[in-house]
Amino acid sequence: MYTRDEIKVFYGNSNPWLAKKICHYLNIEEGKAFFSRFKDGEIKIKIEENVRGVDVFFVQPTQPPSDNLLELLLFLDAARRSSASRITAVIPYYGYARQDRKDEPRVPISSKLIADMIEVAGASRVLTLDLHAEQIQGFFKIPVDHLYATPVFVSYLQNTEDLSNTVVVSPDPGRANRARAFAKRLGGLPIAIIDKRRDRPNEAVAVNVVGDVKGKNCIIFDDIIDTGGTIIEATRALMDNNAAKVIAVATHGVLSADAVERLHSSMVESILITDSLPVNKKKLTEKFKILSVAELLGEAIRRIHNAESVSALFI
């Protein structure tokens, strides 16, 4: 499909499995870069092939530890200093996105800081997936292509579930617009909203359910599953309102601490996540299903490289 002089896709240590699948979709060889460390732990990077005048893409989600973000920044700088014609930071999971505003005194706007760092390091544009908040796009002065994993989930659910008695559920009022768009893609399904209270980070309490869920199959639609608290509380509220069953859908499976065990023990029937983040399948239970976003990201890379419209993938 491409020659090596036209496009090169590199990746760091954050999620090499996803990057390899993207290269397979594009039918290109993986870019050659060497990642090592000095004795004190400092990261050392060297691009091991010519990238002068090349359209370079670097695939790297930026989940903790911070080394993942540092690898991204250092590679961007190396590619810029090697005279790449354009450098696209492909960030399937944008870390620090949950701190996108000053909601209390004396706190940073971390997602803005990260955006500034990515620009200064040398990125020409950013390709990302399901940002925690859409306004983060405005933190960049360079083009941002913001994709949604919706088509991946819609295709799977339409082929595996009977959606005739289904309600899409937003886990909080702030996610209602995304839930509504997801419900529309699933054939115009009704939606319900969980009235959620969060007194401190990673602790959520479902207070009320807005909408009719009695006897319905419910699909909770969110962008991140971290500790699992939001999904567990939302499921409990839905079942208390006599829902028939609950399926959880989220793009980014952070699954920190004992989230897998808590979700497995909860009343949620199944959990769909993507491979935007590396997930150890051996630690998951039969409730979990991982869907790949490699083709979605690969197609976006192809269109960006060929100067074709990417807007059809934004839905």
172-205 residue pLDDT tens: 888 899 999 999 999 999 999 998 666 566 555 6
Whole-structure pTM value: 0.93
Mean pLDDT of 276-284: 91
Token digits of residue 309: 């419209």
Q: Work out the burial of residue 52: count CB atoms within 10 Å of its CB; fewer than 13 is exposed, 13-18 middle, 19 or more buried.
A: exposed
pLDDT band at 208 (very low <50, low <70, confident <90, very high): confident
8 catalytic per annotation: no
Whether 7-148+295-313 shares its CATH topology with 150-292 is answered yes
**Catalytically annotated residue among 8, 21, 112, 196:** 196
CATH class of 7-148+295-313: alpha beta
Angle, vertex CA 150, rays to CA 222 and CA 164, nearest 5: 85
CATH class of 150-292: alpha beta
Predicted confidence at residue 311, as pLDDT, reads: 86
Predicted confidence at residue 281, as pLDDT, reads: 85
pLDDT single digits (tens) 8-64: 999 999 999 999 999 999 999 999 999 999 999 999 999 999 999 999 999 999 999
Predicted confidence at residue 282, as pLDDT, reads: 86
Domain locations along the chain: 7-148+295-313, 150-292
Per-chain mean pLDDT for the chain: 93
Q: How many helices (H) and strands (E) does the chain have?
A: 8, 14
Predicted confidence at residue 54, as pLDDT, reads: 96
Mean pLDDT of 88-94: 98
Predicted confidence at residue 312, as pLDDT, reads: 80
